[in-house]
Structure 1
Amino acid sequence: MSALRWRLILNGKSAGDDSLREAVAALREDGVALDVRVTWEGGDAERYVAEAIADGVDSIVAAGGDGTLSEVATTLAHRDETAAQLPSLGLVPLGTANDFAGAAGIPDAPHEALRLIRRRPAQAIDLIRLQAPDGVHWAANLASGGFGTQVTLETDEGLKKMLGGLAYLVTGIAKLGRIEPLRARLHGDGFDWEGDFIALGLGNGRQAGGGQALCPDAMIDDGLLDLTIVPALSGEVGATVRTLLTEGKHAALDRIATRARLRRVEIDAAAPLTLNLDGEPVQARHFRVDCVPGRVRMHLPADCPLLAAAGPATLPGALAG
């Protein structure tokens, strides 16, 4: 049997990670032909993925945060080949928040993450496809808008280096006194909502922005988007805070949010709206967002909570599709 051939695409910010270097060396000693490419500027990941496919690699490993994963998955999604014809996708989480990896149960330690890729067969997962006036965008994890998006966009890079995921909380607290609701209409099959909101999530994965679980029941292999709309809060703030303290974040979200599962969603905003796709901001007044089933194959833990086979929780609110 010929040796496995992998290509690891590493975010340049993590190029000096000693634990990753040791893990790569160990895997090579174990018989995997693993080459490393480091991204430095926009377009690098796309070029490296194309090169890896031309070289006939078995797996492409994204080493970085949610943005790196999404960039590699996006490049695979743009290809003409089917998911079965493309290399499988693996993830070594090296970012600040690692929201997708955390929700999926992918180990933090590079050696364990690489061992997972070798030991677990790849399985088809969905991707988010967003169509805006400026073109088509993809995301592996979550598209978000409103308060959480502004926190993510405004969190200082230096603060993230010092505090990690806690930096998002610090920035969020600083913004609490100046949350301005946004107005939009969202509609899909059997679903229609219009009003003011402070947070919006369209989940393939469950959380973004350093642990904001906007779509806590989302699955990455069910062919559906989990939609969460948090409306503008007034008298409900006190009750929501009490629920948060006594019953937890999930119960607080259930109290105030409108939630649904849909194959596609169209968004019409009264003013330009910014959606954050795994770190990529896209601004427009109109979006069409689709779930594209089984677009890539990914190595995930056997008990990954994001897989429908693990038994999805019952979703309160509207269920459509």
Structure 2
Amino acid sequence: MAASLTVVIAVNPMASFGHRAEVGPRVIERVRAEGHTVVDMREANIELLRRETRRALEAGADALVVVGGDGMVNLGVNLVAQTGTPLGIVPSGTGNDVADGLGIPVGDTEAAIDLLLDALQSPPRVIDAGVVRHGGLSTWFCGVVSAGFDATVNERANRMTWPRGRSRYIVALLRELATLRPIPYEVVADGVPLETKALLISVANNRSLGGGMRIVPHAVLDDGMLDLFVVSAMSRLHFLRVFPRVFSGTHTDLPQVSFRAVKTVSLNAPGVIAYADGERIGPLPVEISVVPGALRMLA
């Protein structure tokens, strides 16, 4: 008989704008049916959910499971990084890039729960995490830090209520194209100073962001490195022509695109807001570093 565990399950009440509200109760039902003790965390807002989930973990738990998108994954990562508590994901959000990168089924709730239940009885997968240091604070991330045009698009997309899903990011991108311009960055990558004018800079642990944009298709979650992704200046028309290639990951050979494996990187530029896993960090400058093996994942 499988060992009984105490599992904290935190559910985002507004994942996919509340249109997949049935996923959380289904996860709780099936985990309980396997004989595990469930600590059901469903709160009115994210801040309350974060606080109460932290209390539940401090009271003692064998695992944390988050139900939602990359924002919920980021919440979970910031609660369990370097604690040894494994983190599970049942994707039900607008963007589910971390789940996809881990091989968790996206868009098939029952298959995702099946994988979770198997993983609860298996050794967790150990992966890296990143840390963003900003204004005296530190924030963990699992996926991607955006600090350019992609972050501007994210900021607009987060304010939009229509459309839903991946298309929301595309609409936001098209609206932001009107102000597309290269930004002068000061970058220090593993101690090497770089000055560049770029449209987009990201620092990736995972391969994709924004609901399937495979910006660094070769990224590996457990290689002890991050990937610095830079898109240099090009015209709006050229950008529109090449942008669809990001979804298939076939943009990597473009002359305006560069990649660099890094352990630490600092970014500074005027008027740029950084995002991590789709969550707002704040204005540059930021310092980003990899912490190998910081996360134990149920995947």
- TM-score, structure 2 normalization: 0.86
After TM superposition, the structure 1 = structure 2 runs for residues 68-83 of structure 1, keeping only pairs within 5 Å, are: 68-77=72-81, 82-83=82-83
Aligned to 1:194: 195
Which amino acid in structure 1 is aligned with residue 48 of structure 2?
Answer: D
Change (3 A) 1:50 1:190: closer
Cα offset, 1:221, TM superposition: 1.0
Separation of aligned partners in 2, 1:242 and 1:110 = 33
Change (3 A) 1:30 1:293: same
For structure 1, the 5+ residue unaligned runs are 301-321
After TM superposition, the structure 1 = structure 2 runs for residues 41-190 of structure 1, keeping only pairs within 5 Å, are: 41-77=45-81, 82-83=82-83, 86-108=84-106, 109-120=108-119, 121-155=123-157, 156-160=159-163, 163-189=164-190
Cα offset, 1:53, TM superposition: 2.6
Three-state SS of the structure 1 residue aligned to 2:150 is helix
Separation of aligned partners in 2, 1:27 and 1:2 = 12
Cα offset, 1:57, TM superposition: 1.5
Aligned length: 289
Which amino acid in structure 2 is aligned with residue 123 of structure 1?
Answer: R
Which amino acid in structure 2 is aligned with residue 189 of structure 1?
Answer: D
- Is 1:275 matched with 2:274? yes
Aligned to 1:317: none
- Structure 1 window deviating more from structure 2 (11-20 vs 64-73): it is 11-20
Which amino acid in structure 2 is aligned with residue 44 of structure 1?
Answer: L
Separation of aligned partners in 2, 1:290 and 1:37 = 31
Aligned to 1:265: 265
Separation of aligned partners in 1, 2:145 and 2:247 = 23
Separation of aligned partners in 2, 1:274 and 1:216 = 24
Cα offset, 1:190, TM superposition: 6.5
Which amino acid in structure 2 is aligned with residue 157 of structure 1?
Answer: M
Separation of aligned partners in 2, 1:167 and 1:157 = 8
Cα offset, 1:262, TM superposition: 0.6
Separation of aligned partners in 2, 1:91 and 1:295 = 16
Identity %: 25
Separation of aligned partners in 2, 1:24 and 1:130 = 32
Which amino acid in structure 2 is aligned with residue 220 of structure 1?
Answer: L
After superposition, give the CA deviation of every residue in 1:191-238 in whole Å (9 maximum; x if it has no partner): 443121111110111111222222221111111111100011149938
Which amino acid in structure 2 is aligned with residue 59 of structure 1?
Answer: A
Three-state SS of the structure 2 residue aligned to 1:202 is strand
- Structure 1 window deviating more from structure 2 (174-183 vs 64-73): it is 174-183
Separation of aligned partners in 2, 1:252 and 1:59 = 38
Which amino acid in structure 2 is aligned with residue 261 of structure 1?
Answer: A
Separation of aligned partners in 2, 1:39 and 1:182 = 40
Out of 31, 36, 39, the position equivalent to 2:35 is 31
Cα offset, 1:257, TM superposition: 1.0
Cα offset, 1:248, TM superposition: 7.9
Separation of aligned partners in 2, 1:229 and 1:209 = 17
Separation of aligned partners in 2, 1:201 and 1:207 = 11
1:203/1:215 contact within 8 Å kept: yes
- TM-score, structure 1 normalization: 0.81
After superposition, give the CA deviation of every residue in 1:239-261 in whole Å (9 maximum; x if it has no partner): x937967x985332331212110
2:80/2:86 contact within 8 Å kept: no
Change (3 A) 1:242 1:92: closer
1:149/1:209 contact within 8 Å kept: no
Change (3 A) 1:294 1:12: same
Change (3 A) 1:268 1:29: closer
Separation of aligned partners in 2, 1:23 and 1:91 = 10
For structure 2, the 5+ residue unaligned runs are none
1:266/1:287 contact within 8 Å kept: yes
Aligned to 1:254: 253
Three-state SS of the structure 2 residue aligned to 1:158 is coil
1:49/1:76 contact within 8 Å kept: no
Separation of aligned partners in 2, 1:201 and 1:12 = 29
Cα offset, 1:40, TM superposition: 2.9
